[in-house]
Structure 1
C-alpha cells in the first residue's frame, strides 16, 4: 500500500495541479494554462482531452457506492489527488 500511496502523492503533486488548471483555463476560454508544479511555473496550451479525462474520473468517483468511496477517499487522503473531487 505504501508504494501506491507514494505513486498517488507523485500524481497529486505533479499532475493534479496541471489537470485542474487546464480545466479552469478551458472553462474560462483562456489561451494558456498556468499552474505551479514543485514550486515552479508550468505553462501550456489548454488540452481538451485532459479536461475530458478529468470529467470521466469525476463521473466514476460519483458512481462509487458508499463503502468504495470511503476506501478511495482514505487512499487519496493527503496525496493531493483528493483535490480532483
Structure 2
C-alpha cells in the first residue's frame, strides 16, 4: 500500500499465480479445485445434525441444518461451481 501511495515502480506490476492444479494427478476434479477441508468437515457435521433432526422430527432445526450444510458444501466447492 505504501509503495502505491509513493508511486513506486513495484506497485504497478502484477504477480499472477496459479492457485489450483499445482499437483495434477490426472483427475479432472482435483486438477481444477481441491475442496477446502474445514468446510467439508462442517458440511459433514451439519449433515449429521440434519439426519438427527429429521429423526426427531424437529422441523425448525431441520430447516436450519439443511441451509447450513448446503451453505458449507457450496463454500467448499465454490471455485468449482463458479
Q: TM-score range by the shorter chain?
A: 0.3 to 0.5
Q: TM-score when scaled to structure 2?
A: 0.32
Looking at both structures, which has the greater relative contact order when contacts are Cα pairs under 8 Å and sequence separation is at least 6?
Answer: 1
TM-score, length basis structure 1 = 0.32
| Greater Rg over alpha carbons, structure | 2
Q: Which has the higher strand share?
A: 1
